């Protein structure tokens, strides 16, 4: 956080209203919260002498935990992703896949996950689990 942004707390009139920061685990965030805690007008107004000023983002921590857990099924997950990519690569493959699943009485739209969003991996696997 640059010097201008630190002064922004005072400019906005919130320096005495800040209780906590919720951040991910980036080193720059640790540095920024240290700089903010050194601000006398902010530090003297923090509850518990700033002990709970920096709170880690629960969603980020949950994502790290899930990503670590997904490593256990990494080989299978990689094959599933490759299969979904293969089917979605061309319109003809997509149509052929749709015909196959319809013949089995299943209606499904494949979804490829985003590596940084574990919930998209869950959705991809959930959709495939319904086939």
Q: In total, how many domains does the chain have?
A: 2
The sign of the dihedral angle between the CA atoms of 63, 67, 73, 77 is positive
Residue 63 domain flag: no
> Which among 15, 16, 22 is positioned nearest to 54, based on CA atoms?
22
Q: Identify the sign of the CA torsion 22, 24, 25, 31.
A: negative
Q: Let me know if residue 79 belongs to a domain.
A: yes
Q: Is residue 90 part of a domain?
A: yes
Q: Which of 30, 56, 82 is the last residue of a domain?
A: 56
E strand residue ranges, the chain: 21-23, 54-56
pTM of the entire structure?
0.55
If asked whether residues 117 and 83 sit together in one domain, one would say yes
Range of the domain at 101: 72-130
Work out the burial of residue 17: count CB atoms within 10 Å of its CB; fewer than 13 is exposed, 13-18 middle, 19 or more buried: exposed
Is 104 within a domain? yes
Establish if 125 belongs to a structural domain: yes
Instruction: Answer whether residue 39 is part of any domain.
Output: yes
Q: Tokens 């574990």 — which residue?
A: 118
Is position 61 within any domain? no
Same domain, 8 and 52: yes
Q: Mind listing the pLDDT tens digit of every residue in the chain (131 residues)?
A: 444 455 666 788 776 776 677 777 777 777 777 777 676 556 566 666 666 676 677 777 888 888 899 899 999 999 999 999 999 999 999 999 999 989 989 888 899 998 778 889 999 999 888 77
Helix/strand number for the chain, H first, E second: 7, 2
Tell me, yes or no, whether 44 lies in a domain. Answer: yes
């Amino acid at each position: 956080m640059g010097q201008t942004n630190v002064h922004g707390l005072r400019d906005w009139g919130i320096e005495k209203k800040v209780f906590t920061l919720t951040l991910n685990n980036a080193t720059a965030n640790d540095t920024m919260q240290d700089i903010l805690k050194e601000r006398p007008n902010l530090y003297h107004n923090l509850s518990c002498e700033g002990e709970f000023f920096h709170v880690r983002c629960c969603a980020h921590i949950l994502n790290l935990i899930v990503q670590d857990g997904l490593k256990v099924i990494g080989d299978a997950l990689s094959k599933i992703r490759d299969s979904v990519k293969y089917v979605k690569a061309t319109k003809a493959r997509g149509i052929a896949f749709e015909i196959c699943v319809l013949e089995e009485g299943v209606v499904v739209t494949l979804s490829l996950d985003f590596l940084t969003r574990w919930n998209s991996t869950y959705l991809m696997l959930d959709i495939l689990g319904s086939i």
